[in-house]
Chain A
Amino acid sequence: MKRIEVRVGDATARYTLLEDAPKTAEAFWESLPIEGVITHARWAGSAVWVKTPNQPIAALDDIELPVTSIYPGTIVVRPNPRGVAEVFMSYGVAESRGPLGRTYATPVAELEGDGKALMGAFGDTWQGGSTSVSISRAEDRS
Chain B
Amino acid sequence: MTKLRITIDGVSAVAELKDAAAPAGVAAVVGALPLRTRFVHASRSGNCAVAHDASLQHPSVGIEGQVSMYYPGMLAYDPARGHLVLAYGQGQARSNTGTHWVTYLGDVVENLAELAVKLQDTRDHGALDVRIELGE
Contacts and interface: CB of A to CB of B under 8 A. Distances in A.
* Chains A and B share a contact (CB less than 8 Å): yes
Interface of A: 39-46, 93, 97, 99, 125-130
B123 interface: yes
B47 interface: yes
B17 interface: no
B126 A42 contact: no
Contacts of B42: 42
B129 to A, nearest CB: 12
A40 B96 contact: no
A46 B43 contact: yes
B96 A42 contact: no
A130 B90 CA distance: 21
Nearest to A124: B126
B38 interface: yes
A129 B49 CA distance: 13
B81 interface: no
A44 B41 CA distance: 12
Interface SS majority for chain B: mixed
A126 B41 contact: yes
B43 A129 contact: no
For chain B, the bracket of interface size reads 10 to 19
B44 A97 contact: yes
B91 to A, nearest CB: 8
Contacts of B127: 126-128
A126 B43 contact: yes
B123 A39 contact: yes
Contacts of A43: 44-46, 94
B40 interface: yes
Contact of A93 (B45, B90, B94, B96): B96
A54 B134 CA distance: 51
A40 B44 CA distance: 10
13 contacts: A39-B123, A40-B41, A40-B43, A40-B123, A42-B43, A42-B45, A42-B47, A45-B96, A46-B43, A128-B127, A129-B125, A129-B126, A130-B125
Contacts of B41: 40, 42, 126
Given A43-B94, A127-B126, 5 more contacts: A39-B123, A45-B44, A127-B127, A129-B123, A130-B124
Contact of A127 (B40, B44, B45): B40
B81 to A, nearest CB: 15
A130 B124 CA distance: 5
A43 B96 CA distance: 11
